């Protein structure tokens, strides 16, 4: 039956085309850093877009009040009581469009800067691959986000360490997607741009922290920052973002969604991410709903 073969080829082609067309539109939300008792099931999830939770954070420091660097052996620092392995499974079962990632680093560990520290590239990479593989498997995770903001190594050492770990985890099919989360700061950009130059191709998204800009950011400035950072991270899928805490940038109440509509018209709206669910719980995730509705139209 030749027709059957054709029919199945068409189905495969259509499925593939649908994935290609829908995958770029993604809504992502950091969760779990502030121990605000927020659960996955508290957050509204629009079924017609890709949805990523990003657990914050796994850090290569010892737990406790005087954290020491562990040379790539990662520990879980998010609210693992409310965001446990079984809760990951359950939210993914209830919502087939949900994937869950973990983020590495973050600003602080026990109120001190979470410095990226490696005793040597080879040993850091080897420890990170094995510790992250077990956390990802234990928690049923799908992806990884890189969010270091302080560095005790050069840009090229950072690039080698992170680039090699992400490449290995993808090759081993431990994770299926990866992102970086830089912001507009000289030291931070030097490290992430070095990573981008050597390993940009292994990253699926750039979670640029647009909420790290000034609080008085206008819509015009926001759009020009977007273009500037898109050209810095050339070839990457640049996502826009806002914070629901006291951070800066262009807030939803000051025109963030109007700016998104403008990007959508220019076919540059790849997705939106929010920092963070812990802060949004108080106002009932109002802007998460709005952001996903904007993306569902895109
Ligand atoms: C990170 O480094 C800074 C100095 O650069 C230091 O003050 C801070 O305590 C370090 N963080 C930790 C967790 O040790």
How is 26-58 classified by DSSP, letter by letter? EEEEEESSS-----GGGS---TTSEEEEEEEEE
d(CA 92, CA 141): 10
Task: Give yes or no: 149 in active site.
Answer: yes
User: Three-state DSSP class for 205?
Assistant: strand
Q: What is the pLDDT of residues 119-154, one digit of tens each?
A: 999 999 999 999 999 999 999 999 999 999 999 999
> Is residue 97 classed exposed, middle or buried when 0-12, 13-18 and 19+ CB atoms within 10 A define those classes?
middle
96: left (phi over 0), alpha (psi -120 to 50) or beta: alpha
Can you give the pLDDT at residue 298?
82
Q: What separation in Å is there between the alpha carbon of 113 and the centre of ligand 1?
A: 5
Can you give the pLDDT at residue 8?
54
User: Three-state DSSP class for 255?
Assistant: coil
CATH number of 25-297: 3.20.20.80
Q: Which of 66, 115, 116 to mutate to test the pocket of ligand 1 (most atoms within 8 A of CB)?
A: 115
Angle between helices 219-232 and 256-265 (to 10 degrees): 50
Q: Which of 113, 150, 151, 152 to mutate to test the pocket of ligand 1 (most atoms within 8 A of CB)?
A: 113
Q: Which ligand 1 atom sits nearest the alpha carbon of residue 67? A: 13
Can you give the pLDDT at residue 20?
46
Share of the chain residues as helix, strand and coil, in percent rounded to the nearest 5:
45, 20, 35
pLDDT tens, position by position, for the chain (298 residues)? 556 555 555 555 555 454 444 456 999 999 999 999 999 999 999 999 999 999 999 999 999 999 999 999 999 999 999 999 999 999 999 999 999 999 999 999 999 999 999 999 999 999 999 999 999 999 999 999 999 999 999 999 999 999 999 999 999 999 999 999 999 999 999 999 999 999 999 999 999 999 999 999 999 999 999 999 999 999 999 999 999 999 999 999 999 999 999 999 999 999 999 999 999 999 999 999 999 999 999 8
Q: Which ligand 1 atom sits nearest the alpha carbon of residue 61? A: 13
d(CA 152, CA 127): 18
Contacts 24+ apart (CB under 8 A), 221-225: 221/250, 222/249, 222/250, 222/255, 222/256, 222/259, 223/259, 223/262, 223/263, 225/184
From the candidates 29, 81, 149, 262, give the one annotated as an active-site residue.
Answer: 149
């Amino acid at each position: 039956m030749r027709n059957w073969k054709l029919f199945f080829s068409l189905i495969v082609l259509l499925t593939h085309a649908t994935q290609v067309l829908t995958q770029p539109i993604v809504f992502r939300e950091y969760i779990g850093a502030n121990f605000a008792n927020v659960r996955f099931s508290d957050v509204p999830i629009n079924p017609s877009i890709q949805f990523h939770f990003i657990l914050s954070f796994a850090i290569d420091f010892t737990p406790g009040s005087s954290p020491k660097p562990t040379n790539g052996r990662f520990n879980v620092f998010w609210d693992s009581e409310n965001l446990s392995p079984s809760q990951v499974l359950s939210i993914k079962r209830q919502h087939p469009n949900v994937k869950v990632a973990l983020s590495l680093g973050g600003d602080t560990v026990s109120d001190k800067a979470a410095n990226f520290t490696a005793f040597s590239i080879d040993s850091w990479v080897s420890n990170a691959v094995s510790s992250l593989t077990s956390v990802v498997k234990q928690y049923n995770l799908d992806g990884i986000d890189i969010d270091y903001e302080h560095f005790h190594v050069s840009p090229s050492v950072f690039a080698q360490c992170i680039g090699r770990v992400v490449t290995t985890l993808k090759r081993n099919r431990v994770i299926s997607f990866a992102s970086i989360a830089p912001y507009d700061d000289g030291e931070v950009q030097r490290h992430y741009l070095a990573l981008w130059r050597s390993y940009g191709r292994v990253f699926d998204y750039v979670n640029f922290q647009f909420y790290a800009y000034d609080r008085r950011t206008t819509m015009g400035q926001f759009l020009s920052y977007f273009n500037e950072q898109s050209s810095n991270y050339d070839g990457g899928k640049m996502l826009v973002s806002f914070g629901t805490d006291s951070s800066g940038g262009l807030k939803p109440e000051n025109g963030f969604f109007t700016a998104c509509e403008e990007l959508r018209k220019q076919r540059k709206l790849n997705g939106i991410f929010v920092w963070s669910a812990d802060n949004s719980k108080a106002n009932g995730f109002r802007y998460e709903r709005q952001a996903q509705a904007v993306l569902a139209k895109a």
